[in-house]
Amino acid sequence: MSVSLRKLAAILRPAGLRADALLTHLQRLLSSSAGAESLVTTLAFTFLFVHTRLQRILERQYERLALALATKASQSLLPGETVVATIEPPHTRLSEACASVKAASELFQDVWVFMRLWGLVGVYSLAQENYLKPPRDAILKTLTWGQVGAATVLLFMENCAYLASKGILRGERWEHRAVKWNVISARFWLTHTVLDGLRLLRVRQLRYNEDLGAQEEKEKETSGGGITARKGTVTVQSEALKKQWQRDFYAVAGWAPLTLHWSFADESQSPVSQTWLGLCGMVPGIVGLMNAWNETS
């Protein structure tokens, strides 16, 4: 019996160590602002996507129920007789689940916007870095300063609109501004996203020699540390840098439909459906989680 227990303990011990390492890593991830924000972003848009799918299934159930009731009622009517009835949607497990998922999505979206209240601090850090260590390429430098300007306006207007919606900034002037500023901030966010995409394309055009670690040697050929460089030419430092560029580009591609959708004063006119809104929003959230996971490993 004791031998069997020792064998069982020997089997379970590695699993326990792996679980402990995973939970410790998760704690480090959630302790970082980037990790926490990425997790909230992922959950907000995942719940939004799930809600749209559940809502569609629920609508089909209601349609079948209404059709069945209409068919049954028509069989008992006399010729030329009509009946108009209002049917209250029945409460089912699916309808309750749909309402719960919607509430979770709205909660995480609210937390997500709240966490962006101190985003201007990050913009200041980006501006400081671009000033002290500007990119060698003039186009990249211009694009980065354009992003700083767009991010400053969008976060200022978004934060003011959010505080007004919570009743912190009060008065009729702020009530009128809140809706308008939300739309304008989204348009600046769309501008920021386009500039970020152009920046990444420029980095790729320069063969990743900017912002991703590879440095140009102008006088002699060197080899070492995974970098091989010659005068006038630069190679990618590693496959990890190329994968990082790809993840960043996927994140930008995911944000683009969302910022386009929110740029419409009347969101019903947007070509982006709620389903695509949730699906695209999951992409930058997952990319951010992957980056934060690697940084806290």
Q: Which of 213-222, 232-241, 287-296 tops mean pLDDT?
A: 287-296
Report, as an integer, the average pLDDT of 162-186. Answer: 89
Count structural domains, the chain.
1
Tokens of 55: 């809502």
List, for residues 175-231, the tens digit of each pLDDT value.
888 889 999 999 999 999 999 999 999 888 876 655 544 444 343 444 444 433 344
Report which of residues 32 and 61 the model is more confident about.
32
Note the pTM of the prediction, 2 decimals: 0.78
pLDDT grade for 134, boundaries at 50, 70 and 90: confident
Share of the chain above pLDDT 90, in %: 44
pLDDT digits (tens, 9 = 90+) for 46-91: 999 999 999 888 878 777 766 666 666 565 654 555 555 565 666 6
Q: What is the pLDDT of residue 220?
A: 41
pLDDT at 110 over 60: yes
Residue 92 lies in a domain: no
From the number of C-beta atoms within 10 Å of its C-beta (0-12, 13-18, 19+), residue 155 rates as buried
- Determine, yes or no, domain membership for 13: no
Q: Is the pLDDT of residue 245 over 60?
A: yes
Q: 288 lies in which domain range?
A: 108-295
Would you say residue 125 lies in a domain?
A: yes
pLDDT of residue 242: 79
**Does some domain include residue 285?**
yes
Q: What is the mean pLDDT of the segment spanning 14-38? A: 80
Determine, yes or no, domain membership for 85.
no
23 occurs within a structural domain: no
- What is the mean pLDDT of the segment spanning 137-150? 92
Q: Would you say residue 127 lies in a domain?
A: yes
Q: Is 210 contained in some domain?
A: yes
